[in-house]
Structure 1
Amino acid sequence: MVEDPADPAHQEPAFRMNAANNASSKYRLWPIFVMPVLVVIAAAAWSAFWFYAASQVDQTVDAWRAREAASGRIYDCAKRTVAGFPFRLEVRCEDATVELRSQTAEQAAAQMPPLTARLGDILVIAQIYTPRLLIAEFKAPATLSRHGQPVMVVDWRVGRSSIVGLPDTPKSADIVFDDLAIDRMVESVRTPAARAAHVELHGRTAEKSTLDKPMIETAVELSGATLSDIHPVLTQPFNAEVGAIVHGLKDFTPKPWPVRFRELQAAGGRIEIRQSRIQQGDLIAIAAGSLGLTADGHLDGELHMTATGFEKMIPALGIDKMLEQGVPQETLDKVAPGVKSKDIDNLFGALDRAIPGLGRAVRENANVGVAAGLAAIGQEATLENKKARSFPLRFVAGAVFIGPLKVAQTPPLF
């Protein structure tokens, strides 16, 4: 019997085979459609997360600005934008201004009008997974003005900072500058006030700090620095490292520094200098100790100092020149309070009358005697495999003394 190809019974096996093949093809193709869907869902979820994190960083920046404003530092910008999608967050502040109120004892006491600093842009960066860590970059220069008149210009090559812990109490804060230059503006003429190849300022909550007894650990590093307005010895380049802990703080609420220092003094707080090192050429000095504050805001206490190149401190402090030039009373008061200039001048004059030229010889060699006198202060020591001397460095109501000699005057902190 011949089979009829048109018979449905004859077609059934082939139909079932084709149906099975179609089902298998569809089964193999489903990952091709599922993967793009998953990618779209993941991208949408990541985008939502990024925008949420961006809003959180924006709030963190606002919290930081609020803390700074309460501390007398008011940040503002003409335009603020958020970018950095997809892996980080960037908040850019264009045409930034910083208003500084009551940041120094002089400014607070005299109720001076605020200083306004204008700079280019401030860029705040955060990784999307660590929105509580903010890293900021500052665009130079910054011009400080009072009553609309420029009084200071600050320039730098690199300026950045970081802060951890916002919007709660910050855990740490750091700021770094490279090639920092500070100039005073006097009738539109820039006069150098300070220079530094590298500056680092660090602050963090100390390990033993508690809510009822907060402490701040600080560190300052300067490289290739010069300061024109503090002491002539600092006009030559020097390197410095200072580490300290501030004890006796009332709390960590934001407030201007003069207010915080006043509270510190009222609580009997101290500034513990754990370590410090200054090097200027062959002169190296280290010091440690504790300083308090007087009722009028001056430093008061004692540091134990060890220094090499001790004989070079005489010309560095200008003591030899004071003697050679007749010792003006104003200058003499800085190094030997109570000694009258006329007494020394009369002595040198009497020597010249007795033996012509003797007074001049004594003046020119006076630094030898002064060096011997200073060498009698303290004890012999060794510092970094060099001969050195250890002696007390006393702060008395802001005046700085090496033995009986007053070598500097520090300003009040409030």
Structure 2
Amino acid sequence: MNAANASRKHRLWPVFVMPVLVVIAAAAWSGFWFYAASQVDQTVDAWRAREAASGRNYDCAKRTVAGFPFRLEVHCKDATVELKSQTADQAAIAPLTARLGDILVVAQIYTPKLLIAEFKAPATLSQHGQPVMVVNWSIARSSIVGLPGTPQSADIVFQDPAIDHVAASVQTPVARAKQVELHGRIAENSRPDHPAIEAVLELTGATIQDVHPVLTAPFDADIRAIVHGLKDVTPKPWPVRFRELQAADGRIEIKQSRIQQGDLIAIAAGSLGLTADGHLDGELHMTATGFEKVIPALGIDKMLEQGVPQATLDKVAPGVKTKDIDNLFGALDRAIPGLGKAVRENANVGVTAGLNAIGQEATLEGKKARSFPLRFVNGAIFIGPLKVAQTPPLF
């Protein structure tokens, strides 16, 4: 009898082994999770210090950590970002302060170097304590791989972004899009002391006001570039980064770009550098369909057909004065009545014929096109001899 009881007890002990192991594993995992959660503040503070050195100061009114047992969720309520010296002219003016809703940052326990963040709209940008811009979106997400060390890649996506300028409580549209995506990563085979950065910008259904008339109609863009000449990827203000790039004779290589606006399609590739005063300088090789629509898109035909304010003229053809155009056509009318009007009405044909002499015939996506150089000269953009825009300095 005793032998039978002893045999039965001997057979039952394995039944209790698995629950005990599960309890031990759960306790160990819980300890690991709470230890990882305790390190969040330290990691976040180290990242904030790195960003502050680059002129970007982040803060949260309240920060909490949750997500047990398999995730770490850092919830930042009433987030603020103070931006200093992020553009060439910002050093001389007051910093911008962006106030957001909530930010949620998530990391899986088994992939701690991958951080995924969600941002709650809106974001209000203020200067001297007064709102100057409001940014809205339906969904905004970002992901970063490589933190807390050197980031290996970063991505951010906005759906339905809308930027409005604020003046005296009145909001004026600045930019709209269905979707904006920005992707960046360290290029393969680049050296740690001379990293090359691959970047991709994708815009869908974008419109931009008060920059150039051609940008006010919806367009799609896909631009892929590689930045050569960087010393490192540590956080720095953008003007400092661009100044270092120029000193190292670095280049922004446009590997591929495609812009479509209705029937107008343009692709371009080439290389751009920076002048000593921070302006873009270089050349892209562009091929465009619907070349006869380039002139109306740039607004030159409207400029010739009727008088326009000098401010508009400065945008579509910098350097040309309204009085010069009016004097020209006035002289034609005085010489032969009606000639000025006829020239105005047919000027588009003449200018188009002149631009058609630039470059060569080509085919793009099965359509008739022309291929020509797009030159950047000290920040000015030229199609052949025609100056079509002026870009600001980067530092």
Q: TM-score, normalised by structure 2?
A: 0.95
Matched, 1:304 2:285: yes
What amino acid maps onto 2:35 in structure 1? Y
| CA–CA separation in structure 1 for the residues paired with 2:22 and 2:193 | 51
| Residues 1:332 and 1:181: Cα distance change in structure 2 (over 3 Å) | closer
| CA–CA separation in structure 1 for the residues paired with 2:271 and 2:370 | 20
| CA–CA separation in structure 2 for the residues paired with 1:377 and 1:263 | 36
Aligned residue in 1 for 2:253: 272
After superposition, the C-alpha distances for 1:120-174 in whole angstroms (9 at most, x for unaligned) are 1111101101111111111111111112110111111111111111121111111
| CA–CA separation in structure 1 for the residues paired with 2:316 and 2:262 | 23
| CA–CA separation in structure 2 for the residues paired with 1:338 and 1:36 | 82
Aligned residue in 2 for 1:320: 301
Q: TM-score, normalised by structure 1?
A: 0.91
Question: Match of 1:296, SS?
Answer: coil
| CA–CA separation in structure 1 for the residues paired with 2:95 and 2:313 | 36
Residues 32-43 of structure 1: pairs in structure 2 closer than 5 A: 32-43=15-26
| CA–CA separation in structure 1 for the residues paired with 2:44 and 2:317 | 52
| CA–CA separation in structure 1 for the residues paired with 2:320 and 2:142 | 48
Aligned residue in 2 for 1:360: 341
What amino acid maps onto 1:283 in structure 2? L
Aligned residue in 2 for 1:179: 160
| CA–CA separation in structure 1 for the residues paired with 2:163 and 2:315 | 27
Q: Contact between 2:99 and 2:123, CA under 8 Å: does it hold in 1?
A: yes
Residues 51-130 of structure 1: pairs in structure 2 closer than 5 A: 51-108=34-91, 110=92, 112-130=93-111
| CA–CA separation in structure 2 for the residues paired with 1:399 and 1:346 | 26
Q: After alignment, is 31-40 or 139-148 more displaced?
A: 31-40
What amino acid maps onto 1:229 in structure 2? D
Residues 237-252 of structure 1: pairs in structure 2 closer than 5 A: 237-252=218-233
Residues 156-171 of structure 1: pairs in structure 2 closer than 5 A: 156-171=137-152
Residues 15-34 of structure 1: pairs in structure 2 closer than 5 A: 18-34=1-17
Q: Contact between 2:213 and 2:316, CA under 8 Å: does it hold in 1?
A: no
Residue number among 354, 367, 374 corresponding to 1:393 in the alignment: 374
Residue number among 257, 269, 283 corresponding to 2:238 in the alignment: 257
Matched, 1:50 2:25: no
| CA–CA separation in structure 1 for the residues paired with 2:257 and 2:106 | 33
Q: Contact between 1:63 and 1:166, CA under 8 Å: does it hold in 2?
A: no
Question: Match of 1:279, SS?
Answer: strand
State the shift of 1:359 in Å.
1.6
Aligned residue in 2 for 1:381: 362
| Residues 1:116 and 1:331: Cα distance change in structure 2 (over 3 Å) | closer
Q: Contact between 2:287 and 2:364, CA under 8 Å: does it hold in 1?
A: yes
| CA–CA separation in structure 2 for the residues paired with 1:345 and 1:87 | 72
Q: Contact between 1:105 and 1:413, CA under 8 Å: does it hold in 2?
A: yes
Q: Contact between 1:75 and 1:96, CA under 8 Å: does it hold in 2?
A: yes
| CA–CA separation in structure 2 for the residues paired with 1:383 and 1:321 | 28
Question: Match of 1:132, SS?
Answer: strand
| Residues 1:184 and 1:367: Cα distance change in structure 2 (over 3 Å) | same
Question: Match of 1:212, SS?
Answer: coil
Q: Contact between 1:327 and 1:345, CA under 8 Å: does it hold in 2?
A: no
Aligned residue in 1 for 2:331: 350
Aligned residue in 2 for 1:144: 125
Question: Match of 1:209, SS?
Answer: coil
Q: Contact between 1:334 and 1:406, CA under 8 Å: does it hold in 2?
A: no
Q: Contact between 1:115 and 1:145, CA under 8 Å: does it hold in 2?
A: yes
Question: Match of 1:365, SS?
Answer: helix
Aligned residue in 2 for 1:8: none
State the shift of 1:58 in Å.
4.3
After superposition, the C-alpha distances for 1:301-330 in whole angstroms (9 at most, x for unaligned) are 111100001111111101001111247666
Higher Cα radius of gyration: 1
Question: Match of 1:210, SS?
Answer: coil
What amino acid maps onto 2:211 in structure 1? I
After superposition, the C-alpha distances for 1:176-223 in whole angstroms (9 at most, x for unaligned) are 110001111011111111111111111111113112322111110000
Q: Contact between 2:223 and 2:254, CA under 8 Å: does it hold in 1?
A: yes
| CA–CA separation in structure 2 for the residues paired with 1:222 and 1:397 | 26
Unmatched runs of 5 consecutive residues or more in structure 1 = 1-17
What amino acid maps onto 1:50 in structure 2? W
Q: Contact between 2:211 and 2:315, CA under 8 Å: does it hold in 1?
A: no
| CA–CA separation in structure 2 for the residues paired with 1:293 and 1:189 | 38
State the shift of 1:62 in Å.
3.0
Unmatched runs of 5 consecutive residues or more in structure 2 = none
| Residues 1:333 and 1:235: Cα distance change in structure 2 (over 3 Å) | closer
| CA–CA separation in structure 2 for the residues paired with 1:41 and 1:371 | 79
Question: Match of 1:346, SS?
Answer: helix
What amino acid maps onto 1:305 in structure 2? M
| CA–CA separation in structure 1 for the residues paired with 2:59 and 2:9 | 61
- Percent identity reads 84
Task: Name the Cα RMSD after superposition.
Answer: 1.8
Question: Match of 1:131, SS?
Answer: strand
Q: Contact between 2:317 and 2:389, CA under 8 Å: does it hold in 1?
A: no
| Residues 1:225 and 1:22: Cα distance change in structure 2 (over 3 Å) | same
| Residues 1:106 and 1:196: Cα distance change in structure 2 (over 3 Å) | same
| CA–CA separation in structure 1 for the residues paired with 2:315 and 2:253 | 26
Matched, 1:290 2:249: no
After superposition, the C-alpha distances for 1:78-108 in whole angstroms (9 at most, x for unaligned) are 1111111111111111111111111111102
